[in-house]
Chain A
Amino acid sequence: MRITVTVDGTTYTDEVEPRLLLVHYLRERLGKVGTVVGCDTSNCGACTVHLNGHSVKSCSVLAVQADGAEVTTIEGIARNGRLHPVQEAFHDNHALQCGFCTPGMIMQSIDLLADDPDPDESQIRHGIEGNLCRCTGYQNIVRAVRQAAERMRPGAGPEAERITEDRSAHTVGGE
């Protein structure tokens, strides 16, 4: 089947098998290997991306279902070398260790903040419940999301994915 999908701002048209999962389309056809696969049962959330501005587990979406849609991955949220505030907060709060769950965790956190720009600790924990991390015990992830919420006020979500230079983000790599 022929699909046309816009991923991280670039439009692609491809022939795909109907059974091809969106995550495999992203990784194997488009080389978007920042998005990863962690389980077979949609429990871990490592493959979380945004489909038309909302988080989905891309292992549970067929590529053909994304026909005509706009997909944003972890590789598409920084702008002109400036990190998204959630990326920045994950770095600043040591919210990752091995980093394998991180792309999905960040994409889910952005979606969470779009729904609720001012979540408390319990709301954050429930908001990222579908994303598993084996390294951090979640403590610093929760802290990072809380800090990102403060930095991003007011509002986030699809708008936050289109942040421009005016947002006070900084680049990573040392303090």
Chain B
Amino acid sequence: MTATADQEIGKARLRKEDARLITGRTRWTDNFVLNGMLHLAITRSPVAHATITNIDTAAAKSMPGVLAVYTGADLADEQGSLPCAWAITPDMKAPPAPALATGTVNFAGEAVAVVLARTAYEAADAAAAIDVDYAELPVVLDMPTAIKDGADLVHPDLGTNVSAVWAFDSGEAGTGGDVEQAIADAEVLIERTYRQQRLVPAFMEPRSVVVDPTGEQYTMWSATQIPHVLRLMLALTLGVPEHKIRVIAPDVGGGFGGKLQVTPEEVITFLVARRHGKPVKYTESRTESVQSGHHGRDQIQKLTLAARRDGTVTGLKVELLADMGAYLRLVTPGVPILGAFMFNAIYKFPAYKFVCTNVFTNKTPTDAYRGAGRPEATFAIERLMDELASELGMDPMAVRERNWIKHEEFPFTTVCGIVYDSGNYEAATAKATELFDYEGLRTEQAKRRETADPVQLGIGISTFTEMCGIAPSRVLGSLNYGAGGWEHAAIRMLPSGKVEVVTGSSAHGQGHETAWSQVVADQLGVPFEDIEVIHGDTQSSPRGLDTYGSRSLTVGAIAVVKAAERVVAKARPFAAHLLECAESDLDFANGKFTVRGTETATTIQDVALAVFTAHNLPDGAEPSLDSEATYDPENFSFPHGTHLCAAEVDTETGAVQIRSYVCVDDVGTVVNPLIVDGQVHGGLAQGIAQALYEEAVHDESGTLTTATFADYLLPSAVDLPSFTTGRTETPATTNPLGVKGVGEAGTIASTPAVVNAIVDAVRHLGVSDIEMPCSPQRVWRAIQAASAATNGGAK
């Protein structure tokens, strides 16, 4: 048996996962076929707000292959209320959230009835034959209107459309000054209102669920990010003993927060399977996915930035309206709170206040979408810094530098009371500006302005940080979140020297199998190829808190490290026994226990075999190296970076073309540069898509008019540029690997970089804002409006 000598961490290992995925040997939930399996189809509300006056299921019931039809009334006694795990305030208003509507529907796409049939085609036919009568109610869509006195109500029983108001004030918290005073004393005030449009997570694999009620446990396969949380929540929601439920997340085709949910469809499938005693499958269509799967963002941000004329920011006030949609899903109310501590970003603001009003509307519920709260915060502050620079006639990078935390000032406690452990904004910025040719592009920009070129050039900056690796359990507790933030791992040394690593964090594209193998290879000194990573099944991976918030490496992989350390510690007395020396005389490196100062050695794999046979072990020793660990992080991780975007704007058509995009990200120690670059690329694509393309649009009746990929503009390869990525490495000081999260960084950083570039291109024409997505029409209109204003309406 050989031990690897060179370090695995930092290697651009090709992924283990690929072998199956590129050949079609996949295990998507919709692939599962069980004996006697039946199929579900769901009838959904076409209206946004109505009382259900009648449901006629007679025709559907008589159709070929149909076994049963259920309405909300049929499941009302069993279905409970879909869980919300984050009561952000003690008096938060949370309406009952039935899986299958009972009495009223509150958004278009809400499930109203369900058909069980022998085939999926038969189920779909019958679902279309269900006749539902609706008495329509007033539709609540606009947040500012919804919070006015006398407004129509989404949930009349609550008496208001406001779910909760949550505030943080640095003056009251003792973490900073009084923001109202800062505003009163300001030499410059920048007041802006920005809108974060509604987005669709749009994972490529539609959600699918299979429930097998045969056997001692109910087994659920689901296209979910959260098998462990889902199991617990099903138990709590349905009153089924937790140990009688097994949840498996097999291959999962992307999530981006969109599969961080306990869905109506999972509950319905579970209940119908239980009732019939047969395996049942439900797979959504894309339209159902876009209507019923939760959406992201949808905030209105009212911002007040106070500063001195030298560019020093003296305070920031943030007043948010956050659209919950019709119901509170798993972490819906907490999403804005995840951004609350990030508006101050990389800057040393002395005073800060944040007030968020969570509002119900008759729309699809919102919840986590890649970045969850932090993209909104980053967009707001990075746009404001550009506006401040413009107001003061300063270079936008200079304004940022004046305010950002200097490298030598880390660790730094922010105005929110959060401790940033490490960072080097100077280094990332220096590298990015060099890769970008910042000065050269500014020169070209000046020339184009001078010559009144119809195609103008703009430069957008985003010097971002974010808090991820969610999260220290104690912090989550203080925010009244319903669970902790630890992660679990177990390691088993097999007799043949192979290693099984069990992780509670389950991948859906992130490459855990490869990255965890690299981490374990270094810890145990066993070959990368000899390591198998097991995840995504509550039976084989019994403990975990799953995958979201860029937490897998910074929390999950640290649990793996801790478990590996315990394997080595357990192996040590056995190695000493086998080598006939004292434990204190042994060194462990590269998979080998060596008697110090000699060539006498044994590998950890040999020790594993000796422990398996147990023929010759110390008296009374337990014959096992198996170890596990649960790791609770002491802090978040704070990746950062400098993103620079050059955009060409055709002032005659409003068309935007990204000419170059450079980002230098600092995610601490890099385990696998290939995977890190891939995460950044994908993150950028989603952030750029928010800036330029995507928006979930409801018409005045509350119908989602972008419920297909023909209408919701998911960017294709021609819609995106090639990115230049660079890195600086400032290791985290709060975990033993020095790693920081990377999964959300690109999405968080890129949106303001793009919008800043567009605004910069046309600012000299009088434009200071363009609402997202910056479609050609919106850009053109902004230019026209500005030109009309500057010409006194003469145009």
Measuring CB to CB, which residues of chain A are less than 8 angstroms from any residue of chain B? 17, 19-20, 24, 27, 32-41, 43-44, 46, 73-75, 78, 83, 87, 90-92, 94, 96-103, 106, 121, 124-126, 128-142, 172-175
Beyond the given pairs A91-B22, A99-B251, A137-B683, 5 more chain A to chain B contacts, judged by CB atoms under 8 angstroms and listed by A's residue number, are: A73-B24, A75-B25, A125-B716, A135-B682, A137-B681
Interface, chain B (partner A; CB < 8 A): 13-26, 28, 30-31, 121, 202-206, 251-254, 256, 285-287, 508-511, 528-529, 674-675, 677-679, 681-686, 708-710, 714, 716-718, 720, 722-723
> Contact at A100–B204, with CB atoms within 8 Å?
yes
- B529 to chain A: closest residue by CB: A174
CB-defined contacts of A38 to chain B, threshold 8 Å: 204-206, 286
A33 touches B720 (CB 8 A): no
Task: Assess whether A140 is in contact with B23, with CB atoms less than 8 Å apart.
Answer: no
Bound form: Cα–Cα A175–B484 in Å: 38
The 10 listed contacts between A and B (C-beta, < 8 Å) are: A33-B24, A36-B26, A38-B205, A74-B24, A96-B22, A132-B716, A136-B678, A137-B681, A139-B723, A172-B18
A102 CB to closest chain B CB, in angstroms? 5
Q: Separation in Å of the A156 CB from the closest CB of chain B?
A: 17
| A-chain residues with CB within 8 Å of residue B679 when the two chains form the complex | 97
**Could you tell me the distance between the alpha carbons of A20 and B124 in the complex, rounded to whole angstroms?**
13
**Contact indicator A134/B510 (Cβ below 8 Å):** no
State the Cβ distance, B696 to closest chain A Cβ, in Å.
Answer: 15
Q: Which residues of A contact B206 (CB under 8 A)?
A: 37-38
Contact check, B708 vs A134: say whether CB atoms are below 8 A apart. no
Cβ contact within 8 Å between B202 and A172: no
Chain B residues, Cβ within 8 Å of A137: 681-685, 720, 723
Pick the residue among A73, A98, A139 that contacts B204 (CB under 8 A). A98
Given contact pairs A97-B511, A99-B21, A130 touches B716 in the complex (Cβ within 8 A) = yes
Q: Determine which of B14, B20, B253, B714 lies in contact with A98 in the assembled complex, contact meaning CB atoms within 8 Å.
A: B253
B253 pairs with A99, CB closer than 8 A:
yes
B204 touches A141 (CB 8 A): no
Q: Which of A27, A43, A87, A98 is B708 in contact with, Cβ under 8 Å?
A: A43
Q: Within the complex, which residue of B510, B511, B708 is in contact with A40, where a contact is CB–CB below 8 Å?
A: B708
- Provide the residues of chain A in CB contact with B709, threshold 8 Å: 39, 41, 43-44, 132
**In the bound complex, do residue B252 and residue A98 qualify as a contact, i.e. CB atoms below 8 Å apart?**
yes
Question: Are A97 and B509 in touch, CB under 8 angstroms?
Answer: yes
Question: B19, A106: Cβ atoms under 8 Å?
Answer: no
A75 to B24 CA separation, bound complex (whole angstroms): 6
Residues of A within 8 A of B16 (CB): 173-174
Q: Is the beta-carbon distance between B252 and A91 smaller than 8 angstroms? A: no
In whole angstroms, what is the CA distance A129 to B719 when docked? 9
The residues of A that contact B710 with a CB separation of less than 8 Å are: 41, 43
**B682: which A residues are within 8 A, CB to CB?**
97, 134-137
A75–B203 Cα gap in the complex (Å)? Answer: 23
In the assembled complex, the CB of A49 is this many whole angstroms from the nearest CB of chain B, namely 11
Q: How far is the CA of A147 from the CA of B286 in the complex (A)?
A: 33
Closest chain A residue to B285 by CB distance? A40
In the complex, are the beta carbons of B24 and A173 less than 8 A apart?
no
**Distance between Cα atoms of A103 and B722 in the complex (Å):** 23
Contacts of A134 in B (CB 8 A): 202-204, 254, 256, 682, 685-686, 714
Chain B contacts for A141, CB-based, 8 A? 717
A49 to B14, CA, bound (A): 26
User: Given contacts A128-B717, A134-B682, are A98 and B26 in contact (CB under 8 A)?
Assistant: no
- Nearest residue (CB) in A for B510 is A97
Q: Are A135 and B254 in contact (CB under 8 A)?
A: yes
Residues of the B chain whose Cβ atoms lie less than 8 Å from the Cβ of A91: 14-15, 18-19, 22
| Cα distance A24–B528 in the bound complex, in angstroms | 38
Name the distance in Å between B512's Cβ and chain A's nearest Cβ: 11
Q: How far is the CA of A128 from the CA of B252 in the complex (A)?
A: 23
Tell whether, in the assembled complex, residue A36 and residue B21 are in contact, meaning their CB atoms are under 8 Å apart.
no
| CB pair A101 B15 closer than 8 Å | no
Shortest distance in angstroms between B19's beta carbon and chain A's nearest beta carbon? Answer: 4
| Chain B hits for A172, CB < 8 A | 14, 18-19, 22
Contacts of A138 in B (CB 8 A): 681, 685, 716-717, 720
Interface centre among A37, A96, A138 (most CB of B within 10 A): A138
Q: Which of A83, A90, A98 has the most CB of B within 10 A?
A: A98
Interface centre among B256, B679, B709 (most CB of A within 10 A): B709
The 8 Å CB contact of B22, one of A90, A97, A130, is A90
Cα of A99 to Cα of B203 in the assembled complex, Å: 11
Q: Within the assembled complex, what's the spacing in Å between the Cα atoms of A34 and B528?
A: 27
- Nearest residue, chain B, Cβ from A46: B204
Complex CA–CA separation, A97 to B714 (angstroms): 17
In angstroms, Cα B18 to Cα A138, docked, is 16
A41 pairs with B708, CB closer than 8 A: yes
User: How many Å from the CB of B740 to the closest CB on chain A?
Assistant: 19
A44 to chain B: closest residue by CB: B709
Given contacts A74-B23, A83-B22, A175-B13, contact A100 B717 (CB under 8 A): no
Question: Are B14's CB and A94's CB within 8 A?
Answer: yes
In the bound complex, how far is the Cα of B200 from the Cα of A39, in angstroms?
14
- Chain B residue with the shortest CB-CB distance to A38: B204
Chain A residues with Cβ below 8 Å from B714 are 43, 132, 134
